[in-house]
Amino acid sequence: MNMVAKTIVRYCLSGVAFCTSIFRPFSRLLYLVWWMYYSQYKRREFKSCPSDVWITPKIRIIGGKYIEIGHGVHIHGDTILSAYSEFAGSKFLPSIFIGDNCNLGPRAHITAINRVVIGAGTLTGRDLTVTDHAHGQVSDREQLLEAPNRRLLYSKGEVAIGRNVWIGDKVTVLPGVHIGDGAIIGAGSVVTGDVPAYAVVAGNPARIIRNLQEIEA
């Protein structure tokens, strides 16, 4: 490449860098404006959702009139919140409550036909699944002969997650589980039973590996 061509390329690259430096702040500002508009638009779909809630595009809401969001909550993108009042001819009275200052990581899926409560200050990683129901009962042989998406939904109890709980990536919380305040749930855990307050659990099924209350000051 001769000197003229090198000079042209150098000036072009400098121009691109200059334009990028000029327009980058504007692109960030435009995204912030879009984010604020999207949050305002989606808040209207919930039973209650204060103006200080941040919702990252995009999320899916089913049965929003049964879902309550607390102050200062941040819901990251690709999350699904579903409260089913009817399925396959059966009717339910679902409820989902997400407490103040919770932070739901990307791609969370929280679904209820009974009740799911997430306490204030809880932080979750990516790909969380919380459900209070299953497709059919294992004890019902006739239902097991049906395709899963045609079985009656069944809940063996509400899910209650306490305050200030820390939940890692790719955790599944199953029906009837109660998690105490301040607990830590390790990444990849499948929580099938109750977790005491301030316990550290991990595994499939999740088991207690430490109790934070036993740590000496």
> Sheet holding 123-124: strands in order across?
54-55, 74-75, 103-104, 123-124, 166-167, 184-185, 199-202, 207-211
Element (H, E) at 32: helix 3-43
- Give pLDDT, residue 79: 97
55-69 pLDDT tens trace: 988 899 999 999 999
- Give pLDDT, residue 62: 96
Three-state helix/strand/coil letters over 156-179: CCCEEECCCCEECCCCEECCCCEE
- Give pLDDT, residue 11: 47
- Give pLDDT, residue 61: 97
Cis peptide before 57 (omega within 30 of 0): no
Comparison of pLDDT for 117 and 89, the residue scoring more? 117
User: What's the mean pLDDT in 175-195?
Assistant: 97
44-214 maps to which CATH number?
2.160.10.10
Q: How far apart are CA 182 and CA 117, in angstroms?
A: 15
10-32 pLDDT tens trace: 545 454 455 555 556 656 656 56
157-183 pLDDT tens trace: 999 999 999 999 999 999 999 999 999
